[in-house]
Amino acid sequence: MAERSAEELDNARAQRDRSRAAYVSKLHLLRADAYAANHRVAEAHAEIVALEHDLEQLAARAGELLETAWRDGAITTGECLTLLRQRCADERRLLDQRGEYLLRASISTSPPGG
């Protein structure tokens, strides 16, 4: 009986050691996946920042051209207002798209069950 209990204890310890090794291995894989995901998010964020900077410069230039065209009489006040409304709608659409992208990025990098 004692021999059987000792054998069961040894088997339980061996199983515990195998389970612990599998857990540690899985933990290392999950950590590597997390680092890779964080790196991808950081790269995407840097790209978004660069694109937003370019977009801000283009928007500023478009605003200058619009003002110049209106001041020089090349467009009417109504046309100017129409173009300004279109610009606002375009900027709103871009903000919505960025928000959706960031939401998808945050969901795809969430931990399981999180």
Range of the domain at 81: 2-108
Rounded to an integer, what distance in angstroms lies between the CA atom of residue 32 and that of residue 40? 12
Average per-residue pLDDT for the chain = 87
Q: What percent of the chain has pLDDT over 90?
A: 39
Domain presence at residue 21: yes
Domain presence at residue 74: yes
* Total domains, the chain: 1
Q: The pTM is what? A: 0.55
Domain presence at residue 50: yes
pLDDT tens digits, one per residue of 54-110: 988 988 898 899 899 989 999 998 998 999 899 889 888 888 888 888 778 777 666
